[in-house]
Chain A
Amino acid sequence: MNTSLNRRAVDADVCLLLEGTFPFVRGGVSSWVNDMIRAYPDTRFGIIFIGSRAQDYPKAAYALPENVVHFEAHHLYEDERADATPRRAKRGDRDAFAHSAKFHQLLREGGQREEVGAMMVDLIQMLTKGGTLVEEQFLHSREAWDYIEEQYTLHCTDPSFTDYFWTVRNMHKPLWQLARVAQNTLSARVYHTVSTGYAGYLGALLHYRTGRPLVVSEHGIYTKERKIDLLQSRWIRDNRGLFERDVSDVSYFRDLWVRFFEALGRFAYDAATEIVALYEGNRLRQIADGARAERTRTIPNGIDVDGLRPLVERRDPNRPRRVVALIGRVVPIKDIKTFIRAIFVAMRTMPDIEGWVVGPEDEDPGYAKECRALAQSLGLERNLKFLGFQKVADVLPKIDLIALSSISEALPLVVLEGFAAGVPAVTTDVGACRELIEGAVAEDRALGTSGAVVPIANPAALADAAIALLTDAPRWEAAQRAGLERAMRYYTRPQMVERYRGIYQRAASLPNATPRDAAGGGICPMHGGRAGAHSTAQPADALPAPSGTLKRSR
C-alpha cells in the first residue's frame, strides 16, 4: 500500500480542502474525512492541506487511502527571517488600492452578494502573478502605506497606528499565499471544503477561478470557534486609555479579527453550491452567518453500525457496571477536567467507580499534564486511568457508559459508536447531543432516551447522571436499547455516504461557469439565479434520500 504523502496529479474528481485536520491531526473531523474518502473507492480525490507552521504537523496520523491521487500541504504562518534584506519601496497602483477600498467598504456595509462576488473575481486577477495588487505591492508599496494610513484615520478606534499597521499586514498576508495556491493547484470537478476559514476562502478562490462548484460541509462552525478564541485571547492589544475606553465596546483589533473571519466565512458560503451542516442547530447558525437557506441542508454523521453491533454480544452480562469512559483527544475543548472531577464526586457515592480517559495526549501535552496533575491532587490514582489512544472496538465492550464532558461539539461520532456497541452515554448539552440522547423528531423521541444530558462544566450533575444510569439496571438497559435502535435507524454510514454521493454527482455534472457567472451574477448554472427571500426553510428539491431512509424533520 502506498502510505506516502508524496502524490501528484494534474486533476481529480473531488478536491478536498482541509484546514488543520486530516491527515496530520487525529479527531472527529479527520476520522470522518478518512471514512468519506474510503467510502468512494472509485472517486479520485485530491487533498490540499492548510496549516499554521510545518513544525506543528510533523507526522501524518493517517495513511492516505489509495484513491487519493494528489496531496499538497501549505503553511500560512511560517517563521520569517528577522534580518531579511529590506525590499525597495514600490510606487504601487493607485487604482488597485481604490478597488480594494471599495471592496472593503462593500463588506463593511454588508453589500449585495452578487456585487461582492463580482468584485472578488476582479480581485483574484489582481492578486495573482502579473496583477496590480500582488503581495509585493501590498507589503512594499507607497500606495499600500498611504492606503493603510487613510483607513486607520477613517475607521480605527485604537490609538496605536503601529498595532493597526501590523494587524492589517499579518491578517491579509495569507490571502496572497492562498491566491497562489489557487492559481497553481490541480483542477477538479468538485471542490469540497470541510470548514470555512482559510480553507473555505481557498475554495471560493478556486470556484471563481475555475468555475467548478464548491461544496462546504462543516462539523463545527468555524467562524464561531474562531470568534470565541479571539474574544478570549490575550495577544490582541487594546491601547485605549482610561478616558478613551468605552467598557461596553469590544476592542477594535479584536473586532477586526472577528470581522475578518466572518468575511472569509461569507466568501465560502456565497461561492458554495451546497452547504452542509451536521444538525439543525448548526444549519441555522450557518444561515445567521450569511449562508443562503436554500443552499443549506443537514446530513448527520453516520457510523458503521453493522461493524459495531457484534460488540454488544462481547459484553460480559455478569460484570458489575462501573466503568465510565471519556473517549476523545485530551484537549481543553473536551473539558477532561470536568470529567475527572465528576469521577471524584461519583467516587463518594460509588467507591468502585472507574473513569477511563481514552484518547491521544500529544495534541496539547501541557493540558494533558494538567489533567494528570488534577487527578493526582484529587487522589484518583485508583479510580481514574489515562489509557492513551486505543482502538474503539477494543474499548467499547469493556465500558458501561460513555461520558462526553465537552464544552463544544457538533455531532460526536463517539457517542454514536457507543450506541451501536450497546453503550449508553451521558453528554453535556452541546451541539446535537440532546438530539442524540433524547431524539430529534417525534418518532425518534418515541424510542426513549439513550442516556442523559447535563449542563457543561458541572461535575456534580455529570456524576449524578452517571451513577443514576449505572446503578439502575432497567434504566441502563432501556437506554442501551434506545441508543442501538437510534443509531441503526438514523445514523448509519450508508445513509450518509448516499447523501454525499448525490451531492458529488450533482455538482460534478454541472457545466463550467465563467468567472462572472460563478460570482453569482444571476445566470450561474450552479446557483440558479439570485437568492429569493431569506427563509430558513430547506429547499424543496433537497437531494432524495435512498429508499429505506427516514427523512428527518428540521
Chain B
Amino acid sequence: MIDALVLLVVAPIAVLLQSAALWGAWHPPAWANPLALFFLLQAFAAAAEAVVFRRMLPAAQREPRAAVLAHLWLLSFLAPCVGGLIEVLVTAVGAWMPLPRQSRSIATLGRPTFVSHLVSRVVHGAGARVQSRLANAKATTDDRLAALVAIQHLPTRTTGALLRDLLADPVDDLRLLAYGRLDQAENEIVTRISDGRAALERAESDEDKHTLHRQLAELHFELIYQQLAYGDVHAHTIGQAEAHVRAALATKDGERDAALWLLQARLALARSAPDEAGPFLEQARDLGFPRERLLPWLAEVAFRQGQPAQAAAIVGELAARAGAPALKPVIEYWTR
C-alpha cells in the first residue's frame, strides 16, 4: 500500500525532474550555465528516482535505508534514466533466478581465537584438585557442583565409581547431576545397541550378520568396561555379549576373526573365568593377532590363575617391548 502510494506520488515528480534535466541540457536558458543547471536538476531527479527505485526492490534489499538510497542516487545521477533501473532489473533477475542454495549458504565462522586477557583469570593446575573437591563433603555445594561439571567430559571408565558414590550424597543437586552423567553415558551405548538390534533383524547376508553381532558384542562389553552395568545386570550383560560373540563366530568364516576371540577372552576375564580366557587368547594369537598386544591379558590370566611367576615373566616381556606409558607403573611393580 505504502509502496503504491510512493510510486504514485514520487514517480511523476521523478519523471518531471529527469525530463527537465535532459531538456535543460539541450535548451539551456541564457541566464544559466548549462552544465551547472544540468547537474543541479539531475541531482534532484536522481534523489526522486532513488526513492522510487528503492520501493521497487525486494523487501530484504531495502535496508540499510540510507546506504541503499545513496547507492541508488549515485547510479541515477551518473547514468540518467537507466542507472537505477538497471539496479532494479539486476535485483529482479537475482530474485527470479537465485543461485543454488549451497553456493549462497552462510559462511562458516572460524572457532573463536585465543583471547589473552582470559589467561589472567585461569588457575592452572586446578584439574588435579577437582576429584578431591568432589569427594570432600565439607566443601561448599557450589564448589562441588563446579567440580562435578568439570569431570563430566572425562570417560565414565575413570569417573564411574566416583559418580556412583555420589548417588548417595546428601546434596540433592549432586545426586541428580551424577545420575544424569551416568544415565547419559549409558543411553549413548544403549541407543546404539537398540539400533544394532533393529539392523540385525533386517540383515540377510552372513557378512552383515557377522558385523552386527560383533558390533553388538562390543557395545555390550563397552557397558561393562565403562562400569555402567553392575550386580545381576552386569552378569546378564556379559551373557548377552557372549551370546553375540558366539553368534558372530558361527557365521561363515566368523571363526577366523581374531579380535572376536580376544573379546571372548576379555568377557571370560570379566566373569572371573581365567581358565576359559587362556585358550581364547591362544586362539586369537594363532589367527594372527599380534602377541605383544595380547601380553597384558596373558599376564592377567596367569595372575588370576595363581601363577605370579608366570605373570611377572610375561610383564617382563612387555617391558622389553616398551609397552604403553599407562602400563609403566605395572611393569615397574612386576619387574622390580
Interface residues in chain A, defined as those with a beta carbon under 8 Å from any beta carbon in chain B? 83, 85-89, 157-160, 162, 224, 227-228, 231-232, 239-241, 243-250, 254, 332, 335, 341, 344-345, 348, 369-370, 373-374, 377-378, 407-408, 430, 455-460
Contacts and interface: CB of A to CB of B under 8 A. Distances in A.
A244 B173 contact: no
B64 interface: yes
B150 A248 contact: yes
A83 B95 CA distance: 14
Given A88-B65, A159-B113, A224-B172, A459 B149 contact: no
B201 to A, nearest CB: 12
A230 to B, nearest CB: 10
Given A370-B194, A457-B167, A244 B240 contact: no
Contacts of B184: 232
Given A373-B194, A456-B175, A249 B146 contact: yes
A290 to B, nearest CB: 15
Interface string B178-221: 01111110010011011001000000000000000000000000
A117 B113 CA distance: 40
B152 interface: yes
A213 to B, nearest CB: 30
B130 interface: yes
Contacts of B114: 159, 241, 243-244
A86 B126 CA distance: 46
A486 to B, nearest CB: 23
Residue in A246, A369, A374 whose Cβ sees the most chain B Cβ within 10 Å: A246
A224 B173 contact: yes
B60 A83 contact: yes
Contacts of A245: 122
B118 A244 contact: yes
Interface stretch (B231-239, B266-274, B305-313): B231-239
Contacts of A243: 114, 119, 122
B63 to A, nearest CB: 5
Given A231-B148, A232-B177, 15 more contacts: A159-B112, A159-B118, A232-B152, A232-B181, A243-B114, A244-B115, A246-B124, A250-B150, A254-B149, A335-B179, A377-B240, A378-B236, A407-B176, A455-B167, A455-B168
Residue in A83, A89, A231, A459 whose Cβ sees the most chain B Cβ within 10 Å: A231
23 contacts: A86-B63, A87-B63, A159-B112, A162-B112, A231-B145, A231-B149, A232-B184, A243-B114, A243-B119, A246-B123, A247-B130, A247-B150, A248-B123, A249-B150, A254-B149, A344-B232, A369-B194, A378-B233, A378-B236, A407-B175, A430-B172, A456-B167, A456-B179
Interface in B122-153: 122-124, 126-127, 129-130, 133, 145-150, 152
A459 B148 CA distance: 24
Interface string B29-72: 00000000000000000000000000000011001110000000
A249 B122 CA distance: 9
Contacts of A457: 167, 179, 182
B109 interface: yes
B111 interface: yes
What is the size category of the interface that chain B forms with chain A? 35 or more
B121 interface: yes
A215 to B, nearest CB: 25
Contact of A228 (B127, B146, B176): B176
B176 A408 contact: yes
A249 B130 CA distance: 10
Main secondary structure of the interface of A (DSSP, over half): loop
A228 B180 contact: yes
Contact of A248 (B127, B172, B182): B127
B101 to A, nearest CB: 12
Contacts of A87: 63
Contacts of B129: 248
A243 B146 CA distance: 18
Interface in B76-116: 109, 111-115
A189 B111 CA distance: 53
Contacts of A374: 190
B233 A459 contact: yes
The 4 A-B residue pairs with the shortest CB-CB distance in the complex, in nearest-first order: A248-B126, A159-B115, A159-B112, A244-B118
A158 B148 CA distance: 20
Nearest to A244: B118
Contacts of A341: 233
B190 A373 contact: yes
B147 A248 contact: yes
A219 B173 CA distance: 16
B122 A246 contact: yes
Interface string B240-277: 10000000000000000000000000000000000000
Contacts of A455: 167-168
Contacts of A86: 60, 63
A205 to B, nearest CB: 28
Contacts of B193: 377
A86 B65 CA distance: 11
A244 B177 CA distance: 25
Residue in A228, A241, A248, A408 whose Cβ sees the most chain B Cβ within 10 Å: A248
B218 to A, nearest CB: 16
A246 B147 CA distance: 11
Nearest to B186: A337
B233 A344 contact: yes
B85 to A, nearest CB: 23
Nearest to B124: A246
Given A232-B181, A407-B176, A408-B176, A370 B121 contact: no
B198 to A, nearest CB: 10
A157 to B, nearest CB: 6
Contacts of B127: 247-248
B233 A244 contact: no
Contacts of B133: 248
Given A159-B114, A455-B167, A248 B146 contact: yes
